[in-house]
Amino acid sequence: MAHSVSARKRVRQNARRAARNRPLRTRVTRAVRTAREAIDDGDSDAAEFVREAQSALDRAARRNVIHRNAAARRKSRLVRALKQSQASA
């Protein structure tokens, strides 16, 4: 437990920020998961799911919920997986 006044304030701030960021993180996680599942299943709408995941990743990176390089890396991996699945199909 925090003892100083500033440490207690920091705990409160962190809790507020975590609550504010949680919906964005959840949206990213779910969008990426559905895109991955669509790619793995060979779904014809996989490209649309990847596009939605890219949008969610960009939005989270823009609001500093995740690092912009992490968003770029995850987008790159999604697109690479999509192209590989389309090439093999």
What local confidence, expressed as pLDDT, does residue 2 receive?
85
Region 47-64: mean pLDDT is 97
Give the pLDDT band of residue 89 (cuts 50, 70, 90). low
Q: What is the pTM of this model?
A: 0.88
Contact at 8 Å (CB) between 56 and 27?
yes
The CA distance from 14 to 75, in Å, is 28
CATH number for the domain that contains residue 38: 1.20.58.110
Give me 86's structure tokens: 């389309």
The number of domains in the chain is: 1
Region 29-53: mean pLDDT is 96
The alpha carbon of 44 is separated from its chain's Cα centroid by a whole number of angstroms, namely 22
| Domain assignment of residue 58, given as a range | 5-88
More confident residue, 30 or 1: 30
